[in-house]
Chains A and B, each alone.
Chain A
Amino acid sequence: MTIRANVSLSRGAFTLQAQFEAPGQGVTAVFGRSGSGKSTLLRALAGLETPQPGGAISVNGVTWLGQGINVPVHQRRVGYVFQEPGLFPHLCVRGNLEYALKRSVGRGAQRGGRDGVQGDVQGDVQRGVPAFDEVTALLGLENFLWRNPVTLSGGEKQRVAIARALLSSPALLLMDEPLAALDLHSKEEILPFLDRLFASAGIPVLYVSHAPDEVARLADHLLLMEEGTVLAQGPLADVLGRVDSPLARTDEAFSVIHCDIVELDGPCHLSVLSTAAGDRVYVPRITAGQRQDIRLRINARDVSLCNQRPVGSSILNILQATITQLSASDNKGQQLIQLRLAGSDELLLARISEYSCQQMGLINGMDIYCQIKAIALLC
């Protein structure tokens, strides 16, 4: 149950040379700056770009590209959501969805039968016969099935495009910055649909993004890309926690930790959460109806360290941790410290100055208190 790829291609001055292995389920975020080759990688996976000979692509045991094999785009069981929704303007919403549905039956059954793919059957979508009503309900499209795509808002169009990709019965869903062209309001509108989709569909997803928030919220697995190559890959927390990754070198370095809800209506418009170790975390009040598993994104620059538990501080969130790794100092005299939260496997990054690090005598294995200035709630 893995997605394996090894593709190289050049387009003018740009060269893609990507090799990776991602789990055959869950959401793998492909993260990197603009121009790092994320979209080109996705296009190569879908067969929209022809890589140089010698490459290989296989998705859960089905070979799409290999020795003497290059399955054409329309025969790859791929669902592709582009940055622009690309709805067919001559068809209504239902027509767009049925376009995918009509062609999915042959594709799904044919390839599944010939290759003997036995997927873990999770819902109708995985079985190759996606249920029209289920998908439209999942993306909340019931009320505008007969509308002309031209009359839909940006967020609605993208939801139709996602539903259409799902109805084509994909074995792999590729999403190329599906939210990048949307305004903030539309993004907020569409994110809950993505949460539901990823929780229920059971199809592996490759999700290209350059927005840390989306990655932190949606992904389970992470591929970091830079200049056409895959620099790091692995479970989200592991890759984010690395002090030597290209992401860690930027000011955007962040970690994601998981919390449970203790009390929704806490004091002074706060909600109280707790980490796996039982440390309390205070966040701005969460409204009811949001999911139980809460992800928090914490920027490395918002974490400061103390030798002893701070007393009389205005900072509410203080977590106990052990130092597990220290990076070398960068050219601005800053160091990145990797910490493991006490009593759990969760990793936290802190960016502090080389000078404080020396003054405090920080070394591996040292127990320490982390003061967290700001937390982003991802739910």
Chain B
Amino acid sequence: MVSLMPLQRSNHRWLMLFENDIAALWITLRLALITALALLMVGTPLAWWLANSRWRYKAVIEAAVALPLVLPPTVIGFYLLVAMGPDGPIGQFTNWLGVRPLAFSFTGLVLGSVVYSLPFVVQPLQSTFSGIGRAPLEVAATLGARPLDRFLTIVVPLSRSGYLTAAVLGFAHTLGEFGVVLMIGGNIPGQTQVLSIAIYDHVESLEYASAHWLAGSLLVFSFFLLLIVYGLNRRFDMVKV
């Protein structure tokens, strides 16, 4: 007991110091998970449409989806912030609905992250969907499977590797987000302050040890996440029958 006392006291101090960091970590994980799930739901129909549509102006949509790959995140964040403002379309929509504005809120962060990480989910899905081709779906149709049935029983299982890649990229890319979140979220500790911003704050105030702790965890975590994806994807390699 006697020997434990100072240790406990120091633990307590340690927890006090890192309370904000823990909150930021929790917000980041929650944001990444919700964003990844939302992206899979939005990305699936979009990617399916892109993979199968013969619409003449499909390239316009493809280019729009790919924009976040090339634009500085601050640009996306800036325009989203303007849109969420009282005069922007999203702001007017939330006003019409009678809910609080999305700017500087967690929901706003999710919306921004979905836009920002869209290509990381849509592109792997689109490429697996295209890779499946029409043949298995035609076979399933002649066996009496309805369109939704065909999608769920043939396309989804044959796209396992694409879904895994899409989910992890969507998740991991959201983990490392900075510019969009800073613009939309406004760095409110405990509400919209995510890990990457917390690290930046630590560095700004020369708390290098804390920055190390957070940055290192994020590095190791992201690496293992990607390792799992690439390791599993090898096992999922399909042989055509």
Residues of A within 8 A of B (CB): 46-48, 72-76, 78-80, 82, 84-90, 99-100, 103-104, 106-107, 149-150, 157, 164-165, 168
Contacts and interface: CB of A to CB of B under 8 A. Distances in A.
A149 B241 contact: yes
* Secondary structure call for the B interface: helix
Given A85-B241, A103-B144, A150-B239, A90 B138 contact: no
Residue of B136, B144, B160, B241 contacting most chain A CB atoms (<10 Å): B144
Contacts of B63: none
B107 to A, nearest CB: 37
Nearest to A43: B138
Given A84-B135, A89-B158, A100 B143 contact: yes
B89 interface: no
Given A99-B153, A106-B144, A157 B241 contact: yes
Given A90-B158, A99-B153, A80 B142 contact: yes
Interface of B: 135-136, 138-147, 149-150, 153-154, 157-158, 160, 238-241
A89 B140 CA distance: 13
Contacts of B146: 74
Contacts of A150: 239, 241
A130 B65 CA distance: 48
B144 A89 contact: no
Nearest to B239: A150
Contacts of A86: 135-136, 138-139, 241
Nearest to A91: B157
B157 A90 contact: yes
Given A48-B142, A88-B154, A103-B145, 12 more contacts: A74-B141, A74-B142, A76-B142, A78-B142, A80-B138, A86-B136, A88-B139, A88-B140, A89-B238, A90-B158, A103-B143, A168-B142
B223 to A, nearest CB: 30
28 contacts: A48-B141, A48-B142, A73-B142, A74-B147, A78-B142, A79-B142, A82-B139, A86-B138, A86-B139, A87-B241, A88-B136, A88-B154, A88-B158, A88-B241, A89-B238, A89-B241, A90-B157, A90-B158, A90-B160, A99-B140, A99-B145, A99-B153, A100-B143, A107-B144, A149-B241, A150-B241, A164-B143, A168-B143
Closest 5 pairs (CB-CB, A-B): A103-B144, A80-B142, A73-B141, A107-B144, A86-B139
A328 to B, nearest CB: 44
B145 A89 contact: no
B143 A99 contact: yes
Given A74-B145, A100-B143, A168-B143, A48 B138 contact: yes
A84 B133 CA distance: 13
A141 to B, nearest CB: 15
Contacts of A89: 158, 238-241
Contacts of A82: 135, 138-139
B191 to A, nearest CB: 43
Nearest to A101: B143
